[in-house]
């Protein structure tokens, strides 16, 4: 055990963890909006809209995240037309490519989580709203969405942790996140176990914090308190 | 379509073999995962606090740390660890383990952590009466487990195991960082030499979709088989 290396690499890895958290939070926020949008589309009665939303979630859940990042980072740059538009400013940056891939990926999973939450809302609750003379729009925004979000908290907590692990793939497109820096230190010092313990410890700590945060939220917004 | 021709002119045969490699790694990893699950599920369900702690740390660490980091640990540390064990037995020469074993083992460890949780959940959700009835019938410990508990566990575990399989299948794409020629690695090579990454990565995505779709169909049939009588 090389404790000196563990101590000296700790600040470097901690700095890299900030990159990981940034990638995670930005993609989760964008992904939540995408997820909500597609969950609503899934509930639409129009078959075409419905199938489109299903296709999106099937495509992104059925392929590895690595393929998605590579298509966006290496693939899209190949389209000449894109290079001449303003989109190129975003797409030439590995940082934004990674975020687009992460957001689309977590959006697909989130849409499934929210869809099943919408579907498990008891019809009686919506009927109660209707009998009180509340408009459909208000019922949707003030009753259905809050209940769905509460229902999906445990599953969404898992998704946050999965996404946090997913951000490690940013290291494959040259970004120096926690895994990227860990790999760099391992390949220069050939001390995989020590670096794994430190980097893994930081990841576990983040998992622990997220897990407890979700638990706290679940308790706070529980129905039968 | 020329790009996908079989033979020397296209990448069709290379990608075909790469797909077989992906399937081989995924199946091997899943089997290794089952071995881990067979060891760790009883530890999880044991009343001994120490054994519990060991099993819980395995599943918590593996499920809380990115797959890529685990792969790097075994990729860079695997042969060193094996050489260390070999040196205890007096073998001092350099040992290199191939990319397939490193990959299958690291994905297997990850897959095993998820399988352990699935089996634990399945066994815990079996009605207490089943255990009691088996006791009343005077079955031996093994008879009780293999004739009564295991068949029911399999039925309950199958839907979740199919999720584990999907995760394992997709995780194999990460082994491409170790240089093992599976779908992702082969697409990377093809994309590099033809300068057509969009086509090859999209094709890789199609291959993965095909694999997940076909395995879903297969698993659904298995589920129907194990649920007969319910």
Domain membership of residue A113 (yes or no) is: yes
What's the average pLDDT block by block, 10 residues per block, for chain A (225 residues)?
87 94 96 94 91 94 94 87 79 91 96 91 89 90 86 91 94 92 91 92 95 91 68
B222–chain A nearest CA distance, Å: 20
Q: What is the DSSP letter of A222?
A: -
Please, what's the b/e burial string for B193-215 (b: 16 or more CB within 10 A of its CB; e: otherwise)?
eeebbbbbbbbbbebbbebbeeb
A125–chain B nearest CA distance, Å: 30
Contact A67 B196 (CB under 8 A): no
Nearest to A159 by CA among A167, A170, A147: A167
Contact between A85 and A34 under an 8 Å Cβ cutoff? The reply is no
**In the A/B pair of chains, how many CB contacts fall below 8 A?**
112
- The length of chain B is 230
Positions of chain B with pLDDT lower than 70, given as ranges: 1-2
Contact between B204 and B184 under an 8 Å Cβ cutoff? The reply is yes
Helix/strand/coil (H/E/C) assignment for every residue in B80-98: HHHHHHHHHCCCCCCCCCC
Task: Measure the CA–CA gap between A167 and A19, rounded to whole angstroms.
Answer: 10
Domain membership of residue A48 (yes or no) is: yes
Contact between A109 and A152 under an 8 Å Cβ cutoff? The reply is no
Domain membership of residue A41 (yes or no) is: yes
Nearest to A78 among B188, B198, B208 (CB): B198
**Number of domains chain A contains:** 1
* Residue B184 with chain A: CB contacts under 8 Å: 64, 66-67, 70
For B132, the token pair is 């009691």
- pTM, full prediction: 0.89
Task: Measure the CA–CA gap between B130 and B85, rounded to whole angstroms.
Answer: 44
Give the pLDDT of residue B131: 85
Q: What are the sequence ranges of the domains in chain B?
A: 13-226
Task: Measure the CA–CA gap between B219 and B223, rounded to whole angstroms.
Answer: 6
Domain membership of residue A219 (yes or no) is: no
Q: What is the DSSP letter of A165?
A: H
Contact A179 B72 (CB under 8 A): yes
Annotation: CATH topology of B13-226: MetI-like fold (1.10.3720)
Give the pLDDT of residue B201: 94
- Tell me the CA distances in angstroms from A82 to A66, A125, B92, B185, one per residue in order: 22, 48, 57, 26
Q: Which of A1, A61, A62, A180 to mutate to test the interface with B (most CBs of B within 10 A)?
A: A62
What sign for the dihedral angle of Cα B115, B121, B127, B130? positive
Nearest to B188 by CA among B199, B178, B201, B175: B201
Q: Taking CA A98 as the corner, what is the angle to CA A95 and CA A104, rounded to the nearest 5 degrees?
A: 140
Give the pLDDT of residue A86: 78
Give the pLDDT of residue A224: 62
Helices and strands in chain B, H and E counts: 9, 0
Contact between B71 and B147 under an 8 Å Cβ cutoff? The reply is no
Long-range (24+ apart) CB contacts under 8 A made by B215-222 are B215/B162, B215/B165, B215/B166, B215/B169, B216/B162, B216/B166, B219/B158, B219/B162, B219/B165, B222/B158
Task: Measure the CA–CA gap between B65 and A142, rounded to whole angstroms.
Answer: 37
Q: What is the DSSP letter of A144?
A: I
Give the pLDDT of residue A225: 47
CATH number at A85 reads: 1.10.3720.10
Give the pLDDT of residue A151: 87
Quote the distance between the C-alpha of residue A4 and its chain's center.
35
Tell me the three state secondary structure of residue B211.
helix
Nearest to B69 among A78, A179, A187 (CB): A179
Which region, left, alpha or beta, applies to residue A126 given φ > 0 means left and ψ of -120 to 50 means alpha? Answer: alpha
pLDDT digits (tens, 9 = 90+) for B122-169: 998 888 888 888 889 888 888 888 888 888 888 888 889 999 999 999
Q: What is the DSSP code string of A10-74?
A: HHHHHHHHHHHHHHHHHHHHHHHHHHHHHHHHHH-S-HHHHHHHHHHHHHHHHS-HHHHHHIIII
* Residue B209 with chain A: CB contacts under 8 Å: 58-59, 62-63
Nearest to B69 by CA among A179, A192, A64: A179
Contact B66 A166 (CB under 8 A): yes
Contact between A182 and B45 under an 8 Å Cβ cutoff? The reply is no
Domain of A107? Answer: 26-178
Residue with tokens 């996140």: A177
Q: What is the DSSP letter of A139?
A: I
For A115, the token pair is 């869809």
Q: At what angle do helices B67-88 and A192-220 cross, to 10 degrees?
A: 140
* Residue A74 with chain B: CB contacts under 8 Å: 191, 197-198, 201
Q: Taking CA B110 as the corner, what is the angle to CA B108 and CA B116, rounded to the nearest 5 degrees?
A: 95
């Amino acid at each position: 055990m090389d404790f000196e290396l563990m101590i000296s690499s700790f600040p470097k890895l901690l700095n890299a963890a900030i990159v990981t958290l940034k990638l995670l939070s930005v993609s989760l926020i964008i992904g939540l909006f995408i997820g909500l949008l597609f969950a609503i589309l899934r509930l639409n009665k129009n078959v075409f809209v419905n199938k489109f939303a299903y296709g999106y979630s099937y495509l992104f859940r059925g392929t590895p995240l690595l393929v998605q990042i590579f298509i966006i980072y290496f693939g899209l740059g190949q389209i000449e037309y894109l290079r001449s538009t303003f989109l190129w400013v975003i797409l030439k940056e590995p940082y934004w490519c990674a975020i687009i891939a992460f957001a689309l990926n977590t959006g697909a999973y989130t849409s499934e989580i929210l869809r099943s939450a919408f579907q498990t809302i008891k019809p009686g609750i919506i009927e109660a709203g209707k009998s009180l003379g509340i408009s459909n729009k208000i019922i949707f925004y003030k009753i259905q969405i809050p209940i769905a979000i509460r229902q999906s908290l445990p599953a969404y907590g898992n998704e946050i942790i999965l996404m946090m692990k997913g951000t490690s793939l940013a290291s494959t497109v040259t970004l120096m996140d926690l895994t990227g820096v860990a790999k760099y230190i391992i390949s220069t010092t050939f001390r995989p176990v020590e670096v794994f313990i430190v980097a893994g410890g930081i990841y576990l700590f983040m998992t622990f914090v997220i897990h407890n945060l979700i638990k706290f939220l679940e308790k706070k917004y529980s129905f039968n308190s | 379509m020329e790009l996908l021709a079989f033979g020397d002119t296209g990448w069709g045969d290379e990608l075909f073999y790469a797909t077989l490699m992906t399937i081989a790694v995924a199946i091997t990893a899943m089997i290794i995962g089952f071995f881990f699950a067979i060891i760790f599920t009883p530890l999880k369900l044991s009343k001994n606090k120490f054994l519990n702690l060991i099993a819980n740390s395995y599943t918590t660490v593996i499920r809380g740390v990115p797959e890529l980091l685990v792969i790097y640990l075994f990729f860079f540390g695997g042969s060193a660890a094996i050489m260390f064990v070999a040196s205890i037995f007096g073998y001092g020469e350099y040992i290199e383990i191939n990319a397939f074993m490193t990959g299958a083992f690291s994905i297997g460890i990850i897959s095993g952590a998820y399988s352990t949780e699935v089996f634990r959940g399945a066994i815990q959700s079996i009605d207490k009466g089943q255990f009691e009835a088996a006791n009343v019938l005077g079955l031996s410990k093994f008879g009780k487990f293999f004739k009564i508990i295991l068949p029911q566990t399999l039925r309950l575990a199958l839907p979740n195991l199919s999720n584990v399989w999907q995760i394992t299948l997709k995780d194999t794409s990460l082994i491409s960082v170790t240089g093992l020629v599976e779908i992702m690695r082969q697409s990377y090579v093809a994309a590099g030499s033809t300068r057509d990454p969009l086509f090859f990565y999209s094709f890789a995505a199609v291959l993965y979709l095909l694999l997940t779709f076909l395995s879903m169909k297969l698993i659904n049939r298995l589920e129907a088989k194990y649920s007969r009588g319910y």
